[in-house]
Homo-oligomer: A and B are copies of this chain.
């Protein structure tokens, strides 16, 4: 993970569809050299994939929320499986502290939100906060890179 790889990572975070030729111009290497480096970043697991970023409000999901959940039975794998099955949940993290799970979800309407909350609440005590705005869209810090 030298300086070239760092620049490539930064560029692919900013534009995941950048061509190898484009990337090659940024780092002053040949396209084959860049392709090989990116392939290595992928096979070593640093880059796990590429994803289009979608404006949720433009696909009928204008309401976002954060849900904290304290599971009724702690360490219950089935509960996580149940949560995974709910498509409205965008992210889901098991955490330390008195909440067991943090989630972010998106729904199309308040009735849908109500259904979602009911579904989640079956698994334990939940607390839902509506997202008003996001100050930071999902990003990755590359300042202090190691390895």
Is the CB of A102 closer than 8 A to any CB of chain B? Answer: yes
Over the window 47-84 of chain A, the binary record of Cβ atoms lying under 8 Å from chain B Cβ atoms (1 yes, 0 no) is 11111111110111100111000000000000010011
Point out which of A53, A138, A146 has the most chain B C-beta atoms below 10 A from its C-beta: A53
Chain B residue at minimum C-beta to C-beta distance from A8: B52
CB of A80 to closest CB in B, whole Å: 4
A143 in contact with B87 (CB, 8 Å): yes
Q: Please state if A58 and B44 are interface contacts (CB–CB under 8 Å).
A: yes
Task: Tell me whether A17 is interfacial, beta carbon within 8 Å.
Answer: yes
| Chain A interface residue count, Cβ-Cβ cutoff 8 angstroms | 70
Which listed residue (B9, B16, B56) contacts A16, Cβ 8 A?
B16
Whether B145 contacts A54 by the Cβ 8 Å rule is no
If A52-B12, A52-B16, A54-B140 touch, whether A92 touches B46 (CB-CB below 8 Å) is no
The residue that A141 contacts in the complex, of B13, B88, B94, with Cβ under 8 A, is B88
Q: In the complex where A50-B50, A90-B141 touch, is A58 in contact with B133 (Cβ < 8 A)?
A: no
Chain B hits for A61, CB < 8 A: 141
Q: Is A28 an interface residue (CB 8 A)?
A: no
A93-B135, A94-B132 given; 7 more Cβ-contact pairs under 8 Å: A16-B17, A48-B55, A59-B146, A65-B95, A66-B102, A83-B135, A108-B144
A-B CB contact pairs (8 Å), 6 listed: A13-B51, A15-B50, A46-B55, A48-B55, A50-B51, A94-B132
